[in-house]
Structure 1
């Protein structure tokens, strides 16, 4: 399928090319020949790449096999960003690169990174209280603070999961199967155009992780947030999107989300202060993130109809958008400012 955004071809996107499909036997040979290690190999899920947990006698690693459509400079961006964070805030654990190799497989070149494994549990394993959401906010705020001043040419990209790229959302509307659903997306796009576009020049820009959810944030044995993985969505965008993405997941995962959203933002604010315009805009970016979830699902399930994982978040996301479309977003924006600033 041939897609164009703003004159740029996306035929060979990481979202249109299937993930790598190495077997454990093939990975075992690569580990020995290219990385000089051997151990137990376990498959880990990845949407567009292929990940393995490697358990040797000495330690554990993550082996990431990148999608062949992933640009080398984007991989370098991820590596450089994690090193920058580690230097700025050593207490934030991030997956640092141990080794990097390029291997040929069935006539194609694949980039592989061997990464440190971070011991701990994902945040989604924990039953989250209000205080836990505040603690999560403190952590994500620290991440934003650690990334301050970081830049990389590859971060300045047109990326499908970047909330500011509303043209991509508009383009993917054609894959949404009913007019009612299309109208819901158009409603949120109109709200964004009406409320955020007039102030967007005053919103700070930064390189952001862009996927701070409870499947990527790691807690230690004292249930404190201390690590984050998966820098594949890293991008230069509006600073406020970092926290908007996090609260989008909080909204999706909770029946009564706003108290927890306020707690998260209060925690975030204590580590990294957001100004009034950023807080005013956050609810609109939160809604756009959920719009991306459903439009990406609509698009990619046509490309990969057998991949059921692509639609796992579709139903709850549509439910969330239906509810949000009945809420006065302007009032909600004011409520966020009152409860957080």
Structure 2
């Protein structure tokens, strides 16, 4: 089945991006390409404000984009201190435009640019990671009560949807044994307690490339709601823990800090605490499998 993961990312030029910003949003500025996985992003620098022009993969469901837009507004209404992007209305009053290129239709949004540094670009330790856990807890606290039909889609980056992972490892002999091991642990240690694990819509991608830090080394914002999904609440810190763990030689005290910080804001029950390490490991398995799968299809994609 064709999806955003096996369809090439959009291929608009710098001039295309500048023209779209000007013609459809009344924003005149210079564009620079930003790295992206399955979409195409441009940094639009105008004299007064900066923006991100986001051109979604042609196979992206517009309902998923609508969910992201609504979620950002929902979070802002409940906690305006979280620095988020949000869509800018076009000249015609639309938050999502449909633009055609080479007979293919793409959904396009102009988003507020979030100022600051990425967590990946600074040195950090346990204290800042505790703050990261706190921040993710505040984010989910603001998301409580939000729902949208698109959040309940089948999605490979949701650890509750393992069928796609089983399908991928059947073709990935290199990692098959390792990933099968963690799938077995997930079934025995997490899935059996499914009824005890709280579920909600989560951001689902709190890695250090999406977390924004201000000049005072305070975590202020988060970007990229593309993997937002209805899943286990405890998956939120587990995802962040996974990407910290893969980068560090001694990750245990660091990932523990994230979990402690999250738990301070969103107290987790005993079943969630027992599940988090298995969810963390399964998220890493999905990352490995997806990278292998997509690198074969798109070897020139610098993000992978």
Q: TM-score, normalised by structure 1?
A: 0.85
More RCO (CA 8 Å, sep 6+): 2
Q: 2:185 aligns with which of 186, 191, 201?
A: 191
- 1:150 corresponds to 2:146: yes
**Runs of at least 5 residues in structure 1 that lack an aligned partner in the other structure:** 1-9, 311-341
* Counterpart in the other structure of 1:315: none
Q: CA deviation at 1:290?
A: 0.5
Question: Does the residue aligned with 1:37 lie in a helix, a strand or coil?
Answer: coil
> Cα RMSD (Å) of the superposition?
1.1
Contact 2:87–2:110 (Cα < 8 Å) also in 1: yes
Which runs of at least 4 in structure 1 moved beyond 6 Å after TM superposition?
none
The residue that corresponds to 1:14 in the other structure is: 4
Q: How far off its partner does 1:196 sit? A: 1.3
Residue 147 of structure 1 deviates from its aligned partner by 0.5
Give how far 1:174 is off: 2.2
**Structure 2 residue corresponding to 1:160, chosen from 156, 159, 175:** 156
In the TM superposition, what are the counterparts of 1:1-341 in structure 2 within 5 Å? 10-11=1-2, 13-99=3-89, 100=95, 101-178=97-174, 181-307=175-301, 309-310=303-304
Which whole-Å CA distance do the structure 1 matches of 2:188 and 2:76 have between them?
39
Deviations 1:187-243 (A, max 9, x none): 111111111122111111100100001110101110100100000000011111111
Tell me how far apart the structure 2 counterparts of residues 305 and 91 of structure 1 sit (CA, whole Å).
Answer: 40
Cα pair 2:118 2:209 within 8 Å, conserved: yes
The SS at the match of 2:249 is coil
Q: Larger % of helix: which?
A: 1
8 Å Cα contact 1:175-1:295 kept in structure 2: no
Partner Cα separation in structure 2 for residue 281 and residue 210 of structure 1: 16
Q: Which runs of 5 or more residues in structure 2 are unaligned?
A: 90-94
Matches of 1:71 and 1:279 in 2, distance apart?
Answer: 34
By how many angstroms is 1:175 displaced? 2.8
The corresponding residue for 1:333 is none
Please give the TM-score of this superposition, normalised by the length of structure 2: 0.95
Partner of 1:337: none
Compute the displacement of 1:308 (Å).
Answer: 5.2
